[in-house]
Amino acid sequence: MTLLAETVAPAAGGGWLVAAIIFPVVALLLAVAGGARFAARVGVLALPAGLAIAVAIADGVAKHGVLGYYVGGWAPPLGIALRADVLSAAMLVTTAIVASGAGLYALHDFGPPREPGGGRQTLGFWVSLLGAWAALNLAFVGRDLFNLYVALELLTFAAVPLVCLDGRAPTLQAALRYLLYALVGSVLYLLGAVLLYGAFGTLDVELLATVVRPEPAAWAAAALMTAGLLAKTALFPLHLWLPPAHAGAPPAASAVLSALVVKGSFFIVLRLWFDALPGLATAMAMQFIGLLGAGAILYGSALALRQSRLKLLVAYSTVAQIGYLFLVFPLAFDASAGRLVAGTALAGGLLQAVSHAFAKAAMFMSAGLVAVALGHDRIEGFGGLARARPVSLLAFALAGVSLVGLPPSGGFAAKWLLLSAAVESGQWWWAVVIVLGGLLTGAYLILVLMRALQEPAAPTASLRPVAAWREAVPLALALLAVLLGLAGLAPFQPGAGTGAVAAAEAFQ
C-alpha cells in the first residue's frame, strides 16, 4: 500500500484545510489594501490566528488520522481534494511557528513606517511573508500535481522579493539568480506533469498511484519533475543560488527562506515518490538521490568552514543540512518489495525537516542581531561577543546543538533515526556520511563560538542596543529545536509506539 493511497472521504474538521490556505490570502489582501501603514498590524494579528488554524488541523489529524476535503463537493478526478496527514500537520504547525517568530522579530525592521515614503520594504516584507505562508500551506495539503505546481509558483513569487527587500545591486542579482533557477525548475516540473496527464489521464496523487506503470513516459515525467524540484530545493549541485540569496536577505527574510521555503519543494518530492509514483522507485534511482544528498552534506559543510562572514556560514550550512533530507530516499527503499516504505527513515526525515526549520531560523535571527550590535558579521571580529551579547550567542549555540545532532535535540533524534535506518538496511556508507557531516558541522560552529569567547584584540566601540524581546524570539526557536528531541521519544498516540516512528507508520 502506498502512503495515503486509499481514498479518504471528507472528515469532520476538513474545512480547516481550506482555512489554512484562504486565511493568509485574506490577510495579504487586507495588507495590500491598507498599505504600508497597516501591513505590519494586519500581519501581526494574522500570526496567532494562522497558528491556531494549524494547531486545529494537527488536533484533527491526531483524532481522525487523516483530514480530507473535496473542493466544491466534487471528488477526484472531477474535483480537487485537499488532505492532511501526520506529515502535513507537522509541517503546517512548523510553518506557523516559524512564520510567527519571523513576524515578531521583523517588527523592529518592518514595523509601521515612521516617515513618508518609507513603507516600501514594510509592505513588501509582510505581503511576501503572508504569500509564502499561503503557498506553503497549499503545498502541504494539496493532492493534485497541478495544484502543487501552482503552490510552487506562488511560493517562488513570494520568496524572491524577500531576497532583495533592500534594493541593493548584490541582492537584486541574487534574487534574479534565484528566480532563474526557480523558473527552470517550474518548467521541468510542469513538463513532467503534462507527460503524466497525457499518459494516465489524471494528476490526482491517489489516482496516479493506482494507474502509473513503469514505462518511458512515466520515467521521463518522474525525472523531469524531480530535477525541477531539486533545483528549487537547492540540492547540490543545484545549490548555487542559495548562499547569496539567503545571506544577503534581511535576517527575518533569511529565516523564512532557509527554514521554510526550501521545505515546500522537498515536501512535494516526498509526495511524488512515496504517494504518486511508488511503483517507479528503483534502488539505483534512490541511491542516486542519496548520493546528491551526501554531496550536499560534505560540500556544504566544507564551504561553511571557509566562510569569513557569519550569515554566509549559516547559508552554506543550509546547503549541507538539506542533504540529510534526501538520505531518506535510499534509506526508505525496501529492496525486497521494490518500493519506498514508511518507517524509521521517513520519521528521521520528518524530524530533520522540523528541527532544521527551528534551528536555522534561530541562527539567522541571532546572526542578524550580532550584525546589528557589532555593525558587521565578520567572524574574526567576534572577540568579546559572548560578554556583550550572551543571549544571542546562547541562541546560536543551542541551534548549533541541534544541527550537530547532540542529545537531546531534535537533530539528534533525526540523525539517530537515519543512522538506525542505515544499520537496519545494511547501507553503512550513509551512516559514515551522517557521522562525518555531524563532525564537520561541529567544527565550523566551534570556530564561531571560540572567536566569540575570546577577548577582543582591541577595545570595542560602543555596541548598538538590541531589544531584549528580539533576542527572546531566536532563543525560543532554538529551545524548540533542542526540546523537539524529547517529543520524538514521547507517544504519538496511545499504543502507537514512539512519536517519530509512529508518525511515519501512520502513513500506511
Could you tell me the CA-to-CA distances from 273 to 68, 213, 276, 425, 497 in Å, in that order? 21, 13, 6, 19, 26
Lowest mean pLDDT of 147-151, 249-253, 344-348, 461-465, name the range.
461-465
Domain ranges of the chain: 281-508
Residue 302 has pLDDT above 80, yes or no: yes
Residue 218 has pLDDT above 60, yes or no: yes
Mean pLDDT, residues 132-140 taken together: 95
- Find out whether 402 and 488 touch, Cβ atoms under 8 Å: no
Scanning the structure block, which residue is given the C-alpha cell 521545505?
263
Q: Identity (one letter) of the amino acid at 189?
A: Y
For the stretch 110-121, pLDDT in tens is 877 666 555 788
Mean pLDDT, residues 31-59 taken together: 91
Q: Looking at residue 13, what is its pLDDT?
A: 65
- Find out whether 56 and 13 touch, Cβ atoms under 8 Å: yes
Give 3-state DSSP helix, strand, coil % of the chain, rounded to 5: 75, 5, 20
Give the residue, 353 or 467, on which the prediction is more confident. 353
Q: Looking at residue 469, what is its pLDDT?
A: 82
Give the residue, 496 or 186, on which the prediction is more confident. 186
Q: Looking at residue 404, what is its pLDDT?
A: 94
Q: Looking at residue 116, what is its pLDDT?
A: 55
DSSP 164: T
For 288, phi then psi, to 5°, come to -65, -45
- Over its C-alpha atoms, the chain yields an Rg (Å, rounded) of 22
Q: Place 165 in a pLDDT band, splitting at 50, 70 and 90.
A: confident
Q: Give the C-alpha separation, 404 to 435, whole Å.
A: 9
Which residues contact residue 200 at a Cβ distance below 8 angstroms, ignoring those fewer than 6 apart? Answer: 208, 211, 212, 218
Residue 17 has pLDDT above 50, yes or no: yes
Length of the chain: 508
Residue 463 CB-half CA count within 13 A: 20
- Find out whether 344 and 374 touch, Cβ atoms under 8 Å: no
Mean pLDDT, residues 475-486 taken together: 92
- The separation between the first and the last C-alpha atoms of the chain, rounded to the nearest angstrom, is 7
- Find out whether 399 and 383 touch, Cβ atoms under 8 Å: no
Q: Place 219 in a pLDDT band, splitting at 50, 70 and 90.
A: very high
In degrees, rounded to 5, the angle at the alpha carbon of residue 96 between the alpha carbons of residues 437 and 312 is 40
DSSP string over 373-411: HHS--BGGG-TTHHHH-HHHHHHHHHHHHHHHT-TTSHH
Residue 74 falls in which region: left (phi positive, over 0), alpha (psi -120 to 50) or beta: beta
Residue 338 falls in which region: left (phi positive, over 0), alpha (psi -120 to 50) or beta: left
Q: What is the pTM of this model?
A: 0.91
Which residues contact residue 169 at a Cβ distance below 8 angstroms, ignoring those fewer than 6 apart? Answer: none
- 3-class secondary-structure state, position 340: strand
Pinpoint the alpha helices (H) of 306-343. Answer: 310-326, 328-332
For 83, phi then psi, to 5°, come to -155, 140
Could you tell me the CA-to-CA distances from 219 to 206, 207, 309, 339, 485 in Å, in that order? 18, 17, 43, 15, 38
- Find out whether 82 and 69 touch, Cβ atoms under 8 Å: yes
Cell numbers for 36: 504600508
Residue 299 has pLDDT above 90, yes or no: yes
